[in-house]
Structure 1
Amino acid sequence: MSRQPEKSLERTSDFLVATTPITAHTLNASKFVAHLVSQGHRVWWWCGADFQSYVRDLGAIPLRMSSACDYSIARAASYVRGSSLSAVARVRRLYHDLIVGRAGAQCHDLLRIIQRIGPQAILSDTLLLGARPAAHLSGVPWATFGDGPLLWSDEDTPPFGAGLKPMAGRAGRHRNRNVQSWIDNRVFGSARAHYNKLCARMGVEPVPNLRMAGLSPRLHLQGCAPSFEYPRSNLPDSVRFVGVLGTTGVRNSASPGSAASRGRGSRPLAFVTQGTVRPDLSELALPATRALVREGYDVLVTAAGRANEWRHEFATSPEGGIVVVDRIDYAEALAAADLLVTNGGYTGVTMALHAGVPVIQCGATEEKADIGARLEWAGVGVAVRRTRAQPRTIRLALGRLLGQVGLQSSLERMSAEFRAHRADELGGRLLENMAKVA
């Protein structure tokens, strides 16, 4: 059943939300949508076929993507695993085919929808690159939300995609400039050229780098607390930190509500997850579970819909309890957990920090190295830069984490800062203000 608005405003607005058909990039708009719906606004949500019922349950109006824009999570996953191509070549192919390659069709779809519904504002995620030209051509105010490391950079900040930590002084600035130039030109250069050709055909200004194609210059809602991002000397006022994202409002009926309590015994509890893009649990979940049980933990594993296939591999040992489930509410699991072990998805990591839970992050694909570097820089976790872990690797990482000086105080400060930022209210009000100005 759809949620009904809690109250109506004298003057409500129509909002158009547009999200990439990847689970996290779609569902992470939920808190903003929930707030807008609760305030009586009408929210139209253009998304993939897999998310239509969720949108309805949240009280928004689903708009179906055309087949030229939609793709499955399996299709997206095929670009980041199971290929003989190098990591750089896989990223190039992903952007050429799915990110930039769909931007023209996205823009066409969105312009048609904008003409029909006349929204006062548009909100998109940073991978939906067709939103920028659609907003420019229609004149509708455009905002973005970030559910990955902040894309804005300067000479004092390590570039996105490099997995580097800050380095002070001239040497650091020299490093940052050179690495950023290499990433912009060698990794994303062909995709940027393709995108700028599309913009030229539409009469839209080109972008100096591909990062700026998905970052609104008017309002960007960054899904974290300020202390989880590197400080920047030239950060514009348009970038606003709003706190942790994730789903809200509608409980996933597939999530076993008692799983976290079943995983909680007399021993500390570790929550282990690989997300939805990498379903081979032998990469991390299985070796991590074996290591953690040996180190005295009970373990709760989420298997992304493949629990039955993998459950026999997680045979419960005499030393501790292991619970394997298909899906679970992350907030529920983290409320009971003492540790998160993950391949490093941004939303899962930020949810752990919101809950004050330390993180062991293992992963080297996508933006994982950037997330791991931020965990170590902030003193709230450790990173292992490999996709496939061994039990010994996890045990060594756990030793590093527990031996980290000031870990608990860093977690407490970070958690308090996250809790002070309510993404639904803060982001929702900023979007409302943008629509009113328009």
Structure 2
Amino acid sequence: MRVLVAAMPFAGHATPMAALAAELTARGHEVLAYTGARYAGRFTAAGATWVPWERAPDFDDTDLRATFPQVGDGRGLRAVATNLEHVFLRTGAGQARDVEAAGPVDLLVSDQLALGCGLVAERAGTPWATVSLVPLSLPSRDLPPFGTGLLPGRGRLGRARDAALRALVARTLVRRIDGVLAEVRTGLGLPPAAASALEAFASPQLVLAHGVPELEHPRSDLPPHVHFVGQLAPPPAGHAPPSWWPELSADGRPVVHVTQGTYDVDPRDLLLPALRGLATEDVVVAAATGTGSLPADAVPANARQAEFLPYDVLLPRTAVVVTNGGWGGVLAALGAGVPLVVAGGTLDKPEIARRVTRSGAGVDLRTGRPSPRRVAAAVARVLGDPAFRARAAEVAASLARHGGAAAAVDLLERLVRDGGPVHRADADPWGAGRRGAPRPS
């Protein structure tokens, strides 16, 4: 089988899509990988052939404004819509032409935000699956609009609030991006879309949800072709730990890992406040800076820093992870049974933070720029209440149970073999636990 796997050139998108590519090649399939130059090596290392972004503008995910000057700081629903328009929608026609230039394939598998594959599938009739690499953004009659960062409303008033918000967003932001999608489709000779742009990103045949029901708000209208597949890319093994690791490993105090992730990496947002807040606590802090190093006087005596840390070694020794809420990092921590403190401020990160809270496996700081005191208080709360770690262990078991990349490729092969939408066996992934974990007080 000849498969094209498409990933938007972001670190958090490339890693799980490369894991899918690796599983496909391990089963003997020929894989073409459509992604930006920055992440081509992740796919070629998995045995795939790289297809570059050419007609669509390639970009550096650490400096989006260099290619898309309209993009703001990602804070708030309007900023989310702006990013969606310029980074994901307006590149769609170029993506489609790049994918078509790669030649015919038996299956298209796209990061859900890589719009081009869906457009090609419609033009060519090729089977198409999407991978939701962030929490499910499909609209639901049971939830507030994705991007508002709100928990589902309770009772009659809460449901009325959510319905009003859905209607407001449909009249404003959704109408705006629907207009952009119409332009893209017209440029490719396609008729008007039958659904809104928010739904057009997802395949009607198969959606692979990177995660588990415990990390999603229950909804009664989950489409039957949406399958939770757990953690697609477990933390890579084999990377050497930093020179200070034996010292930290021998320290008897709880280890708190602080990370700014791979996007929104200004250390003033989270890293520095966390280091200041935890400086006088009875913990040892392992900080991942991402790029560069923090000034020595910003790193207190109970902390160590490195650009990157090997999670397969770090997480088994970690008591709490403090993160800005990137989905891949959240799944990595919970996959190891480690509870979280989440400071989600931009794009989908507030949504992720709310889901962690709802799961019972962590604390949501409700800001991307917390004070040192708030970080320290949240870490103390998680360390002091064993229910957080117990719930993280339950989520870890669910992530493992859902099968990861192997289960995802089973479903992809089934799509090509059987044709048509691939439906779940269970109508309700939440089962009797539809109401989910109790919300923290």
Identity %: 28
What SS does structure 2 have at the residue aligned with 1:69? coil
Aligned-pair CA distance for 1:360: 0.4
- Contact kept? 1:80, 1:91, Cα under 8 Å: no
**Structure 2 equivalent of residue 416 of structure 1:** 397
* Cα distance, 1:89–1:376 mapped onto 2, change above 3 Å: closer
Residue 198 (structure 1) shift: 2.1
* Cα gap change, 1:40 to 1:338, in 2 (>3 Å): same
Shift of 1:313: 4.1
Corresponding letter in the other structure for 1:55:
F
> Does the 8 A contact of 1:286 with 1:313 survive in 2?
no
Paired AA for residue 396 in structure 1: A
Q: How many residues align?
A: 416
Matched, 1:142 2:128: yes
Q: Is the 8 A contact 1:58 1:250 kept in 2?
A: no
- Which residue among 76, 84, 87 is the counterpart of 1:87? 76
Give the superposition deviation at 1:77: 6.7
Q: Are residues 1:223 and 2:204 paired?
A: no
Partner amino acid, structure 2, of 1:344:
G
Once residues 413 and 272 of structure 2 are traced to their aligned partners in structure 1, the CA distance between those partners, rounded to angstroms, is 45
TM-score (norm 1): 0.87
Q: CA deviation at 1:404?
A: 5.1
Residue of structure 2 in register with 1:330 after alignment? 311
Letter of the 1:239 counterpart: V
Q: Counterparts of 2:190 and 2:20 in 1: how far apart (Å)?
A: 31
d(CA) in 1 for partners of 2:366 and 2:255? 24
1:266-305, aligned counterparts within 5 Å?
Answer: 266-305=252-291
Alpha-carbon deviation of 1:274?
A: 0.7
Specify whether residues 168 and 89 from structure 1 end up closer, same or farther in structure 2 by C-alpha distance, changes over 3 A only. closer
Residue 393 of structure 1 is matched in structure 2 by: 374
Contact (CA 8 Å) 1:126, 1:214: kept in 2 or not?
yes
* Distance in 1, Cα, partners of 2:194 & 2:277: 47
The answer on whether the counterparts of 1:284 and 1:388 sit within 8 Å (CA) in structure 2 is yes
Structure 1 residues 81 and 380, CA, compared in 2 at 3 Å: closer, same or farther? farther
Aligned to 1:171, what secondary structure does the other structure show?
helix
**Contact between 1:31 and 1:248, CA under 8 Å: does it hold in 2?**
no
**2:223: which partner in 1?**
236
- Going from structure 1 to structure 2, the CA distance change for 1:58 and 1:314 (only over 3 Å counts) comes to farther
**Inter-partner Cα distance in structure 1 for 2:58 and 2:146:** 26
Aligned residue for 1:124, secondary structure, equals strand
SS at match of 2:5: strand
Quote the residue 2:183 is aligned against.
Answer: 197
Q: Is the 8 A contact 1:261 1:336 kept in 2?
A: no
Say whether the 8 Å CA contact 2:6–2:110 is kept in structure 1.
Answer: yes
Alignment deviations for residues 403-424 of structure 1 (CA, whole Å, 9 cap, x no partner): 5573233222222111212211
User: Is structure 2 residue 86 aligned with structure 1 residue 100?
Assistant: no
CA-based RMSD of the aligned residues comes to 2.6
Which residue of 142, 161, 166 corresponds with 1:175?
A: 161
2:115 equivalent among 112, 129, 132: 129
Aligned with 1:281: secondary structure? coil
User: Structure 2 length normalisation: TM-score?
Assistant: 0.87
> Within the alignment, does 1:154 sit opposite 2:162 as a pair?
no
Shift of 1:158: 3.1
Secondary structure of the residue aligned to 1:294 is coil
Q: Which residue of 2 aligns with 1:4?
A: none
Indicate whether 1:341 and 2:319 are aligned: no
Partner of 2:431: none
Deviates more, 1:187-196 or 1:216-225: 187-196
SS in 1 for 2:279: helix
Aligned partners of 1:124 and 1:144 also within 8 Å: yes
Which residue of structure 1 lines up, in the alignment, with residue 52 of structure 2? 64
| Displacement of 1:389 | 2.0
Contact 1:21 1:73 in 2 (8 A): yes
What is the rounded CA distance, in whole Å, between the counterparts of 2:234 and 2:397 in structure 1? 20
CA contact (8 A) 1:30 1:248 kept: no
- Residues 71 and 83 in structure 2, CA contact (< 8 A), matched pair in contact too: no
Q: CA distance change for structure 1 residues 91 and 249 in 2, over 3 Å: closer, same or farther?
A: closer
- Within the candidate set 195, 199, 206, 1:212 is matched to 199
Distance 1:249 1:204, change over 3 A: farther
User: For residue 36 of structure 2, what is the aligned residue in structure 1?
Assistant: 48
Match of 1:356 among 330, 337, 348: 337
Instruction: Call closer, same or farther: CA 1:385–1:36 in 2, change over 3 Å.
Output: same
